Amino acid sequence: MEIGQRIKKMRELRNITQEHMADKLDTTQQNYSRWEKGDIELTVSRLEQIAKILDVRPEDIFAFDEKVVFNNNYCNFSDNSIGIGANQSILQELKLSYVSRITSLETEITRLHNLLEKALSK
Question: What pLDDT is stored for residue 70 in this prediction?
Answer: 56
Question: What pLDDT is stored for residue 96 in this prediction?
Answer: 77
Longest dimension (CA), the chain: 67
DSSP code, position 26: T
Question: What pLDDT is stored for residue 64 in this prediction?
Answer: 81
Helices 29-37, 3-13: axis angle to 10 degrees equals 120
**d(C-alpha 103, C-alpha 84), whole Å:** 26
Question: What pLDDT is stored for residue 87 in this prediction?
Answer: 57
- 3-class DSSP state of 72: coil
- The values of phi and psi at residue 81, to 5°, are -105, 130
Question: What pLDDT is stored for residue 72 in this prediction?
Answer: 42
Domains of the chain plus CATH, in order, are 3-121 (1.10.260.40)
Question: What pLDDT is stored for residue 21 in this prediction?
Answer: 97
Question: What pLDDT is stored for residue 74 in this prediction?
Answer: 42
Q: Which residues pair with 75 in a beta bridge?
A: 82
- The values of phi and psi at residue 115, to 5°, are -60, -40
Are the C-beta atoms of 113 and 119 separated by less than 8 Å? no
Per-residue pLDDT of the chain (122 residues; tens, 9 = 90+): 789 999 999 999 889 999 999 999 999 999 999 999 999 999 999 999 999 999 889 988 888 876 666 554 444 444 444 444 545 666 777 777 788 888 888 889 999 999 999 889 87
Q: Which of 89, 41, 28 is nearest to 64 (CA)?
A: 89
